[in-house]
Amino acid sequence: MNSTCTFSLQWNSVNRTIRVPVLCVCIIGTIIHSIFWFQLIFSGIIREKTMQWLYAYLIVDILVLFRFFFTFIVRMTSTECELNHIWFFFNCYFEAFIDIYLNSIGAYILLGLNICRYVQIVHRTNFKSNNLIHLMIYLTPLINFLMQIILQWARLDIQIGVTCRIEYINIYVRLFNTIILFILPVCLNIGVIYASICYIHSTVHLQHRATAREKYHRSLVFQFFIFYIVWFLLWSPNIVASQFTTDVYTIFSVRLLSFIEIALDPFIISALDVRIWNLWQNIWRIIRNRCMIQQRQIQPTHMNPHVISIQS
């Protein structure tokens, strides 16, 4: 790539190479999500409102995959040295902002799911959030980003041949974003999990025994806790790294972890809802039956050596 280009989206050779592992994971993740959603569309549970938080979380996964493929295709097919300025800046802002935005709303969607589980445990009813709650989750990070751009707390950092990213003016802005986008939802989730455990423990203590309902509620909390640990280990490093490092290798190492988590999400969330677990069981059953049918069709027939064939 020509080093004198000022409005080029083409990656240099190093950046093409480091994105190959991410591309492989994204292709696998797309296949897994496609199989999952194909089965989900033809099942009855897709119309159940109690699944809305899980659907919202999985849709964020799909948008993250779309963002990667869109940027990858644009970057790999771009050959012009001086692109149209509007197209250039659109792609740069899209590349720099969408990751941060989707990561932030993903954290709060998990908080919404956890609160719904708490309401289900304490009040023994399924909490169906209204559209206003979803709208607040989706608009708050966007407003936060626009305000920082207007106040010049953040600016677009364009590295020709490398990447486009958001750069913040000082450590205080980075700490503020880390608190809002990461620490706050994580602490709130831990608080809700702790409140759920305390309620279950107090209920069992008053009844002097654990009923089937309490055992079920305990399993709900345990399942979400395991899921949240997996999310925290694989996804959260990308959120923190986006605020505090500019090293390309570090960023794509933690981003690879987040894409691995996205690829595994359709499997992981099956632990949160037995209906999704049953859905995957049906998928495996169909795949296994088809494999067995194909094996029978291609299996050669063996002639019995004790039978004598007489030809006239």
pLDDT confidence band for 312 (50 / 70 / 90)? very low
Question: Which residue bears the tokens 């099956």?
Answer: 270
Q: What is the pLDDT of residue 304?
A: 52
pLDDT confidence band for 23 (50 / 70 / 90)? very high
Q: Do 156 and 96 meet the contact criterion of CB atoms below 8 Å apart?
A: yes
In a domain, 39, yes or no: yes
pLDDT confidence band for 310 (50 / 70 / 90)? very low
pLDDT at 188 over 90: yes
In a domain, 207, yes or no: yes
173-201 average pLDDT score:
89
pLDDT confidence band for 311 (50 / 70 / 90)? very low
Q: Residues 164-180: pLDDT tens digits? A: 888 888 899 999 988 98
194-216 average pLDDT score:
76
Q: What is the pLDDT of residue 210?
A: 64
Q: What is the pLDDT of residue 126?
A: 62
Q: What is the pLDDT of residue 10?
A: 83
18-23 average pLDDT score:
90
Q: What is the pLDDT of residue 284?
A: 76
CA angle (282 as vertex; 276, 288 as ends), nearest 5:
140
In a domain, 179, yes or no: yes
Q: What is the pLDDT of residue 73?
A: 92
Q: Could you tell me if residue 161 is left (phi over 0), alpha (psi between -120 and 50 degrees) or otherwise beta? A: left
Q: What is the pLDDT of residue 25?
A: 95
In a domain, 240, yes or no: yes
pLDDT at 276 over 80: no
246-271 average pLDDT score:
84
pLDDT at 59 over 80: yes
The C-alpha atoms of residue 185 and residue 112 are separated, in whole angstroms, by 10
In a domain, 108, yes or no: yes
DSSP designation for 4:
T
Q: What is the pLDDT of residue 309?
A: 45
Q: Which residues, 6 or more positions from 311, have their beta carbon under 8 angstroms from its beta carbon? A: none
Structural domain for 55, as ranges: 13-277
Q: What is the pLDDT of residue 253?
A: 85
In a domain, 296, yes or no: no
Q: Do 18 and 252 meet the contact criterion of CB atoms below 8 Å apart?
A: yes
Residues in a beta bridge with 167: 155
**What percentage of the chain exceeds 90 in pLDDT?**
14
pLDDT at 141 over 70: yes
**How many residues can be counted in the chain?**
312
CATH number at residue 84: 1.20.1070.10
Number of domains, the chain: 1
Neighbours of 261 (CB within 10 A): 21
Tokens of 32: 């897994």
In a domain, 256, yes or no: yes
Neighbours of 100 (CB within 10 A): 21
pLDDT confidence band for 65 (50 / 70 / 90)? very high
In a domain, 160, yes or no: yes
Q: What is the pLDDT of residue 299?
A: 59
